[in-house]
Amino acid sequence: MGYMGESQSEILRPVSGLFIFTSVLCALLLNALPWSGLWLTLHPDFVAIVLLYWCMHRPLSVGVGMAWTVGVLTDVIDASLFGQHALAYSVLAFGGVVLSHRLRMFELRKQTLQVLGILLLTYGMYALVHWQVNGIVEWNYFWGCLTSTLLWMPISVLFQSMRQMRVDRE
């Protein structure tokens, strides 16, 4: 059972560190856009999606340490509680790395359901931190979880096609 219907004969070349860095940087920039109104409630966590993708597909290159670092950077950019994103992204990366072989076994639609579970845990960390600091549970965090899950398929297909183009050019 191949990933996204890929045939057994397809071989993907290793991803460069520059490509991983660029994708995470683009995700940080998308998260830093000035979201407001309904979009603020619904906006997906692009960094979480990109980190989870790389933790699944390159668990030796992208892991908990990188997730923690990117999380601290996200906390600074968002001016949010210091460590909130770092904690959530570390939990996300741990799940992505530990389950990487299992998640890659599934086709993309079934993989999306597994990703929903990991993202629910990640967004649960946001809600838990908010509850500890403010004394109330902020349920609006979970709307972003649903939109992040909906973006899993397009982002996975995009990254997979970008990786495949490198092979097709030769």
Integer Cα distance of 117 and 55 in angstroms: 15
pLDDT tens per residue across span 35-90: 888 888 899 999 999 999 999 999 999 999 999 999 999 999 988 889 999 999 99
3-state class (DSSP) for residue 43: coil
8 Å CB contact between 45 and 84: no
Q: Which tens digits make up the pLDDT trace of 109-138?
A: 999 999 999 999 999 998 999 899 989 888
Q: How is residue 152 written in tokens?
A: 């899993």
Q: What is the pTM of this model?
A: 0.87
Domain 16-168 CATH assignment equals 1.10.1760: yes
Q: Which residue has the higher pLDDT, 11 or 112?
A: 112
Decide: 93 and 64 in contact? Cβ < 8 Å. Answer: yes
CA 138 from centroid of its chain's CA atoms: 21
Q: Decide if 144 contacts 45 (C-beta within 8 A).
A: yes
Cα(166)–Cα(30) distance, rounded to whole angstroms?
25
Specify the pLDDT at position 130.
87
pLDDT of residue 20: 96
